[in-house]
Amino acid sequence: MSDETSSPFAKVDLFARMGEQTLAGLDALGEDVEYAAGEHIVDQGIALGDDVPILHVITEGEAKVQINGEDRVSMYPDDYFGEIALFDHATPTATIIAGPDGLRARTLGRSAGFAALLGNQSFSEKLVLAFCARLRDLQLYDVAWVSLWGHVPVRGFEGRVAE
């Protein structure tokens, strides 16, 4: 993958092994979405439908992450959330709220096109390798427990928040 790609999805670790053509295909399935200041993008424990944006790559603005009503971290351009929910359909384990100036993001949902990509052996193999790399990385950060299909609680992890 070239660093010159214009697809925001290139920032998502699960897609890091994808080639330019695949990233362009993901980008074609995505859409740009804007949220007003203070708008709830995702609510902890509230199921997401198949017709809503799931993965969000922040392109402008800021997002606040809350877990059980407590502020945890802020996210900024090139940060992302919702990548695991594309696959497992579990309810969100955090609330994400647009920052004081609102938020813009490139988003991806569970569309028919995305489902078709999952059926592609090369795409799926690269996703499995990316999940494995993520699990190996998490082992370096004193992981309390790891569940590939759920929230991954990590103490002292300074990286991205897994929804």
| Residues of the chain scoring pLDDT < 50 | 1-3, 142-163
**pTM for this predicted structure:** 0.77
- DSSP character for 50? T
Note the pLDDT of residue 83: 85
Strand partners, 56: 81, 107
For the segment 66-89, what is each residue's pLDDT rounded down to a tens digit? 999 999 999 999 999 988 888 888
Share of the chain above pLDDT 70, in %: 80
Q: What is the pLDDT of residue 163?
A: 41
Domains and their CATH numbers in the chain = 8-139 (2.60.120.10)
Long-range contacts of 69-74 (CB under 8 A, 24+ apart): 69/95, 72/161, 73/161, 74/99
Q: In the chain, what are the helix, strand and coil shares in percent, each to the nearest 5? A: 30, 30, 45
| Inter-residue contact 138 to 159 (CB < 8 Å) | no
pLDDT on residue 140 = 61
For strand 70-75 and strand 55-67, is the pairing parallel, antiparallel, or unpaired?
A: antiparallel
- As a whole number, the mean pLDDT across the chain is 80
* CA 63/CA 76 separation, integer angstroms: 7
